[in-house]
Amino acid sequence: MARIYLDNAATTSLDPRVLEAMMPYLTEKFGNPSSIYSYGRESRLAIENARKSVAKILGAHPAEIFFTSGGTESSNTAICASVRDLGCRHIISSPIEHHATTHTVEYLSHNGEAALSYVKIKPDGHIDLSHLEILLKKSTEKCLVSLMHANNEIGNLLDMHSVGELCKKHNAIFHSDTVQTVGHYPFDLRNTPVHFITGAGHKFHGPKGVGILYINENVQIKPMIHGGSQERNMRAGTENLYGIVGFAKALELATDSYDEDRMYITVLKKYMAEQLEQNIEGVHFNGDVFGDSLYAVLNVSFPKTEKSEMILFNLDINGICASGGSACTSGVDMGSHVIRHINNNPNLVAVRFSFSRHNTKEEIDLVVEKLKRMI
Ligand SMILES: Cc1ncc(COP(=O)(O)O)c(C=O)c1O
């Protein structure tokens, strides 16, 4: 049975052109980038070229790009360093962030290292910016604002510029988890008021286990991992050479086809929404689906019945990959903290479908047909 993969917000397939770019560094070009002889210098050059390419695409300086193991490490680093090194004693975040953020800010708060406030979420899943401003105004401590650019479950997009300007006005540090948007939208970091952003290669057809942390040149943090002098003394340990090469290649390819992919995937998302509405009674979409929303994510609630409660399981039996919450929680079916927050209706079952350029209308037709029978 051919599988239909509609979980591209969890991870994406590796582009064969990315694998091709990585292969030499998995085989003959194996030198340690810190070695001074030619093998090492070749590897070092590959890393620094990757950094330059990523920086150029994001409108940043190469010295502002640090390679990490992915989105989780990047957000942990940004948040912990803001408290430890930048004097932030009050964190303002939202209850619908990815766990990489939520669990980190809760840890710091439980440990007594920073106070924690959650900004209000509107019914459509957007951040209440006037409440954010009130929280910033009222704070007697320096704040870290940690708000994600695109929500990985419902797709809602944050107005990063407005949040950044508010942070500037109140002398706050701004971290944004951009894991769902790097590789999907153009960035111009030189003209974006943000201190930290993050990225993960596997969300845009690159390899898993490699990501970036952008640290604005105006903030200075201390190393998170101690040891060698890799990543300009910020992250010790021999670099993930082939991963870094793959990350840069995937970002270059994504950049070349941003517009084309966005147009194609937007049509698919709309098509699926229409087909669901026409064929299944009582479907309902979560978030600002056709407004400020990531074009690759469609979060659907189905009326709860004995059958729909088993929907993910039944989709899986039918070879269809979709998820209930984020990938890390769908293994243990705890439901979604995001859906619970914006739509606490026990009579609905939410499923996230997320698309890539490899999906087709025929696949959507098949999925809708199966869903119709399932529900
Ligand atoms: C919004 C968001 N933040 C962070 C992460 C974590 O990224 P990674 O799995 O690369 O650590 C993910 C992906 O799982 C995500 O979707």
83 with 212, same domain: the answer is yes
342 with 219, same domain: the answer is no
- 231 is in which domain, residue-wise? 16-256
C-alpha span between 235 and 239 (Å, rounded): 9
Q: pLDDT-derived band of residue 310, with 50, 70 and 90 as boundaries? A: confident
Residue 146, ligand 1, Cβ within 6 A: no
176 with 273, same domain: the answer is no
State the distance from the centre of ligand 1 to the C-alpha of 176, rounded, in angstroms.
12
Residue 178, ligand 1, Cβ within 6 A: no
pLDDT over 70 for what percent of the chain? Answer: 97
Among the listed ranges 113-117, 264-268, 280-284, 308-312, which one has the minimum average pLDDT value? 308-312
Residue 184, ligand 1, Cβ within 6 A: no
Residue 152, ligand 1, Cβ within 6 A: yes
Catalytic residue check, 321? no
What is the residue-wise DSSP string for 178-191? -TTTBTTB---GGG
Q: Which of 203, 237, 256 is the last residue of a domain?
A: 256
Looking at residue 69, its pLDDT comes to: 98
Looking at residue 327, its pLDDT comes to: 54
C-alpha span between 86 and 76 (Å, rounded): 14
In tens, the pLDDT along 352-373 reads: 999 999 999 999 999 999 999 8
C-alpha span between 89 and 113 (Å, rounded): 7
158 with 306, same domain: the answer is no
Residue 332 has pLDDT above 50, yes or no: no
Q: For strand 211-215 and strand 65-68, is the pairing parallel, antiparallel, or unpaired?
A: antiparallel
Q: Where are the alpha helices (DSSP H) in 27-70?
A: 38-58
Give the position, in ligand 1's atom list, of the atom nearest the Cα of 202: 10
Residues 6+ apart with CB under 8 A from 291: 124
57 with 187, same domain: the answer is yes
Of 8, 67, 98, 197, best ligand 1 pocket probe by most atoms within 8 Å of the beta carbon: 98
26 with 8, same domain: the answer is no
In tens, the pLDDT along 183-232 reads: 999 999 999 999 999 999 999 999 999 999 999 999 999 998 999 999 99
Q: How many domains does the chain have?
A: 2
User: Looking at beta carbons, which pairs linking 185-192 to residues 24 or more positions away fall under 8 Å?
Assistant: 185/258, 186/255, 186/258, 187/57, 187/58, 187/59, 188/58, 188/59, 189/58, 189/59, 189/60, 189/64, 189/214, 189/216, 190/59, 190/60, 191/59, 192/59, 192/160, 192/161, 192/164
246 with 306, same domain: the answer is no
Q: pLDDT-derived band of residue 296, with 50, 70 and 90 as boundaries? A: very high
Of residues 80, 167, 321, 328, which has the active-site annotation? 328
CB atoms within 10 A of CB 7: 19
98 with 226, same domain: the answer is yes
Q: Residue 157 is part of a domain; what is its CATH number?
A: 3.40.640.10
301 with 344, same domain: the answer is yes
Q: Which of 256, 271, 286 is the last residue of a domain?
A: 256
250 with 275, same domain: the answer is no
Q: Which of 230, 256, 282 is the last residue of a domain?
A: 256
In tens, the pLDDT along 32-88 reads: 999 999 999 999 999 999 999 999 999 999 999 999 999 999 999 999 999 999 999
64 with 137, same domain: the answer is yes
Residue identifier of the C-alpha nearest atom 4 of ligand 1: 71
Q: Residue 365 is part of a domain; what is its CATH number?
A: 3.90.1150.10
370 with 247, same domain: the answer is no
